[in-house]
Structure formats: structure tokens, C-alpha cells
Amino acid sequence: MANFFPKWTNWLPLKLVICVGAIVTVIVGGLTYYFTPKYTRVGYEPTQPVPFSHVIHVQQLGMDCRYCHSFVEVASHSNVPTTQTCMSCHTQIKADSPKLAAVRESWKTGQPVNWVRIHKVPDYTYFNHAVHVNRGVSCYSCHGAINEMKVVYQHEPQSMSWCLDCHRAPENHLRPPSEVYNMAWKPASAQAQHEIGMKFKEEWEVNPPVTCGGCHR
């Protein structure tokens, strides 16, 4: 009696198992990668054209964030310092340092220093930098202890779930306006932070969006 099914169907169950196994492996691998620091760029620390140390400039010299990042309070994006900003000091201070060769070349040619971007919000996400700092969100909350970094790196995942954690409970991060740029400021306790945060949340009517349309416009 002839076989009802052709011979190639004998291998069909094995092929299906292999295909399903491959698909499951890809899905599991993708999800695993998505939830790891590698995907969220935590710890990303590229080599910059100029070895700029925030420890020296902020912690030792006491420079304010807004001196270099001059648009932070008024623009949706915080700017990196221009060559003119750097040279306002370094025409006289360490003017011949080999570490500043790229800055002097930029000053001479008019071409910007090719800084490597570290913190980047996806193109499909709306983020306004000025809105956050003008409502009591410190640089520390998103960038970590920048004043202690000899080389800047990404301290927080800045993922959607990380953003939503703050949007759902902004009182955990709000601080007095006078302390937004003070990297050394810390509340006395978690309870103190909650009380301070609730105070400013109510006074400023802080109500961050938690729906898709808030950030994906």
C-alpha cells in the first residue's frame, strides 16, 4: 500500500521543532538584551577628544553647571560648552597644556570640538530639559554625581520604565530651586525628601504625564 504522505514529511516535525526553538531563542535573547545595562548604555564612557574632568572644574573649583551648559534652563536640549566658553579661561590658565590641543585647534580654525555624545534620548521620544530643571529636578537625578566623575559616563538607564518611575512619584526627586545645581545637596532622610518633594509638587502643580502621548508625540 502506497504511503499517503510523501517522504519529505517525515522530516517535517523535526524541522518545526528546530524553527520554533530558533524563534524562541531569538525572542528570549532579544528580551534579555533589552533589559540589560548594555542596551540602556549604563556605564557607557567614551573617550573624548579633550580629557575634561568634572572633579576639577565642579568639585574643586566650584563652577556652576550653567557656566558651560548655558542653555540648560531655557532650551529643550542642554548644550555642550562652546570653544569660546573653554577659552574664556584657558587663554590664560594652562594655555599650553597638551591636553587642550583640540580646544586650541578649534579656536584657531573655527571648527567645533568633536565631543562624543553620551546621553541621547531616542528620536521618537519628546524630552524638554528646561521643563525638568525649572521644576526642581536636579542634574544629579538623571546624570548621577557628575561632580565626582573624572570622565563622564552614563549613570542611569534613562529607559521608559525609569522615566515613568519618576513621573509617577516626582516627590522622590524634587528639591528646592536653589539646590537644583548643587551636586552636593542631599536631604536629611527619605522622609525629609518626601516632605520637600510633596511641598514643591503641590506648590508648582507638578503633574508629569504617564500616558503614551506625554512623551511620544
Residue 103 pLDDT > 90? yes
Residue 15: the pLDDT is 82
pLDDT: is 11 or 68 the higher one?
68
Spell out the alpha helix ranges (H) of 51-189.
54, 65-68, 83-90, 101-109, 129-133, 139-143, 160-168
Domain regions of the chain by residue span? 43-63+70-78+119-215, 81-114
Band (pLDDT 50/70/90 cuts) for residue 1 is: low
Residue type present at position 75? A
**How much of the chain exceeds pLDDT 90, in percent?**
77
Residue 30: the pLDDT is 74
Mean pLDDT of 145-170: 94
Spell out the alpha helix ranges (H) of 100-138.
101-109, 129-133
Residue 38: the pLDDT is 66
Q: For residue range 109-132, what is the model confidence (pLDDT) as tens digits? A: 999 999 999 998 888 999 999 999
Residue 173 pLDDT > 60? yes
pTM of the model: 0.80
Mean pLDDT of 164-168: 96
Least confident range of 1-15, 33-47, 203-217: 1-15
Q: For the chain, what is the mean pLDDT?
A: 92
**How much of the chain exceeds pLDDT 70, in percent?**
95
Helix-, strand-, coil-residue percentages of the chain, each rounded to 5: 50, 0, 50
Q: For residue range 36-89, what is the model confidence (pLDDT) as tens digits? A: 766 788 999 999 999 999 999 999 999 999 999 999 999 999 999 999 999 999
